[in-house]
Structure formats: structure tokens, C-alpha cells
Amino acid sequence: MKVVIAVDSFKGSMTSMEAGEAVKRGVLAAGPADVIVKPLADGGEGTTEALVTGLGGEFREVTVQGPLGVPVTARYGVLPDGKTAVMEMAEAAGIVLVPRDLLDPWHASTFGVGEMILDAVNAGYREFIMGIGGSATTEGGIGMLSALGFVFYDSNGRKLPPVFESLGKVARISAENVPDALLSCRFRVACDVENPLFGERGAVAVFGPQKGVKPSEIAEMDDCMRHYASIAESFSKKACADVPGAGAAGGLGFAFLNFLPSTELRSGIGIVLDAVGLEDAVRDADYVITGEGRLDGQTAMGKVPVGVARLAKQYGCTVLAFAGSIGDGAALCNAAGIDAYFPILRGITTLDAAMDPGTAQRNMALAVEQVFRLLHCERL
């Protein structure tokens, strides 16, 4: 019996690997099996932690410019292959780094994201997995690009600061300071939104208000973004502003696509599944185990467990899911590829008690053990 385990984190309770190892203990308590545990994440918060921990990588810290110019310590991961760095832009330009009353879309910058990338490039890394959710910025990536060596000039030949306030003034762009090593890098960008750069579904109109954009500013700022895109696309000879995801992270998706030579915007779960080699692992598996903290109708709409199930079903695997709780609409998960799902709670309890890491891991192992005892019976 071969069992492949790929469980999302139970937020506030178990990391992906902690949950996976608890599942493994339950499987082996029921009987002999060939068990493989893979880390899992959706490309958002926690992706770096899951991949680095699960794949045996290490973390690095670098001091960079925060979204409002104050230095912050940003952490990113490097994988054992010696060529891949895993980053979340929120480490350097996340909205969580800015108090709500200090949000400033005209001046918040992704400059620190570029500094993080350069740190990894200078250390020899050429493959990047980038999570771009949770930004405090709406500046089309001009900050990141400026840190990477692109220079933006106004009509008088003056160098512009790397903030949104400059977008409507850009007249010329130069790559004069971009290091040659950057041109050999490949970026896989986790992006689960389909918004274009500008327009009624663009970065300013849809995401700007949560970052401090006032309703009265939307039209003006969107015009600035449109102008910036026109100059940028003339510079690159590409047409990226309307690509789904270009408007992600305040236009950072556009910056990657338009300026960097090898960029792929994909769903976060797709990038993670590739990175951990899940497809190779499930090709000859009998059972694939997945799960998350709460399994409900939203899970069936394409969340992490369903991404695992769809891949596993390509190879005829039986897919089981375990969750901290089961919510309304969970039955939709069966049609989405999860053959059966099970809650791990063993009795009436408080939320705090259920989420205690030790209790959650024990409950997971015990629930899995009983299911696999039944499966062993059926194989006799």
C-alpha cells in the first residue's frame, strides 16, 4: 500500500508538515505502508514556511526598505537544489507592516521586494517562487523594478522616485543598471486573481481602497496607471496590462510580466504542487490524503485539497480528506474528486482546546488510524 500525504496547514494549530506527519503516524499505526509526506500551501501566506521546512531548505534574513521607507527584516527561503529561492512579497511590502492609519498608496513602495530578489541573485539563485499576496502598495511594481536597476525618468530627464506618485510622470525607462545575472532568472509567480492592471477591474479600482485609496482618487490614479503601462509596454515591446493577474499586488504582476525576461503567473497551488513533486509521487499511489482546517463548500471551489484531489484523480488514486471541522456544502467536495472526508474531533470541546497543537495532532493521528484499519480489512 502506497500512501501520499499532502495536507494544507490548519491555521493557528498545525503547519502543513505537522499535519502531514500526524497523518503518517495514523497510517502506520494501522498497518504497514509506504508513506510519503509532501508540504502543501496555496501560494499565499505560509508558502515559504511550508516549502522550506518540507523540502529541507533554509531561511535567510536581509534588511530591506519597508513599504514606507523604514527598514524591515525580511525572511525568504532557499531550497536544497541550490538554485531556487522562495519569497513572499509581503515580507518587504506587506500591508501588515503598515498601521491602518498610515496607509499611503501614493508613497508606499515595493523597493524592498527588489532588494530581497537581488540578495538571492547575488548569492547565486536563479529560480524564484514568488508569492505576491497581501501588498500595501498600488505602484505597478516601480519600486521593485527600481531596486533591480531599472531607471524611470520624467520628460525633463530627471530620475523619478520609486512610488505611485511617479507613474503619471514616467516618460522614459532605462535598463542601464540591471545586472546581467537577473536576465537569466526565472520567476514563477503565485497569482490567484485575474484582474488586469487598470480599468474598472484593475489594481486601483478593485484593490486600492483597502490600501488607502480614496473613492475620489480612483479615476486619477487609474489614469496614472494607464499612462505608466503605455510607456512600460513601449519599452518592453510587450502587451501585458490586460493579462489576467497583471493587477495583482497593486500591479506587481504586471511588473514581473513586462520587465523580467522569464515570468509565469500561475495559481499558487499549481506552483506548489510542481515544486514539491507531487505528481511524480502520486503516479503509483493507492491512497492520497489531503485536508485543511475547515472543509466546506468553499473547498470545492478550488482550494488546496481539491487541487490535490484533481491531480491524484488523473492517476486513479483514492482521495481521502481530514479536517478540523466540516461545514455547509462539504458534500460538493465529493464531486470535486475527494472520495470521502472525515472530521478529526473526538468529542464536544472548545475551539481553543481543539486548536491546541498537541491535541490537534493527536486527533488527526487517531482519526486516520481508524480509517486505515478499515482499509486494511478490505484488502484482506
β-pairing, 58-65 with 34-38?
unpaired
* Crossing angle between the packed helical segments 16-30 and 357-379, to the nearest 10 degrees: 40
What was the pLDDT predicted at 255? 98
Superfamily of the domain at 47-269: Glycerate kinase, domain 2 (3.90.1510.10)
Q: How much is the pTM?
A: 0.88
Cell matching residue 1: 500500500
> Which residues of the chain register pLDDT less than 70?
380
Cell matching residue 339: 472520495
What was the pLDDT predicted at 42? 85
d(CA 124, CA 202): 35
Upper half-sphere CA count for residue 273 (Cβ side, 13 Å): 25
d(CA 360, CA 63): 36
What was the pLDDT predicted at 380? 64
What was the pLDDT predicted at 261? 87
At 43-61, the pLDDT tens digits run: 888 899 999 999 999 999 9
* CATH 2.40.10.340 fits domain 2-38+286-379: no
Q: Where are the domains of the chain?
A: 2-38+286-379, 47-269
